[in-house]
Amino acid sequence: MQFTEREKKVIQLISNGEAVASIGRSLNLHIKTIYQIRLNLIKKLGCSGRTDFFNISRSETFKSWSQIHL
């Protein structure tokens, strides 16, 4: 599974509990761009929706995996 640099940054911030608006400000990106990146991540990870994505991205297993692979 390949992630862009932006996707890597966004998923790391989401897994740390950051809100979309906060991520946009910290990366100097429009909020709609962050929403699109999140949608791309949901598709790439095969999540059924936002809730599934948030549960996966905030799990300890995913955090451990992402430290190695992202």
* pLDDT band at 67; cut points 50, 70, 90: confident
Q: Tell me whether residue 40 is in a domain.
A: yes
In a domain, 69, yes or no: no
CATH number assigned to the domain comprising residue 15: 1.10.10.10
Residues 24-44 have pLDDT tens digits of 999 999 999 999 999 999 999
Q: Is residue 26 part of a domain?
A: yes
Closest listed residue to residue 70, CA positions, set 6, 27, 16:
6
Residue 51's domain comprises 5-64
Quote the number of domains for the chain: 1
The answer to whether the Cα torsion of 35, 36, 38, 39 is positive or negative is positive
Question: What is the per-residue pLDDT for 1?
Answer: 75
6-18, pLDDT tens digit by residue?
A: 999 999 999 999 9
In a domain? residue 25: yes
Tell me if residue 12 falls in helix, strand or coil: helix
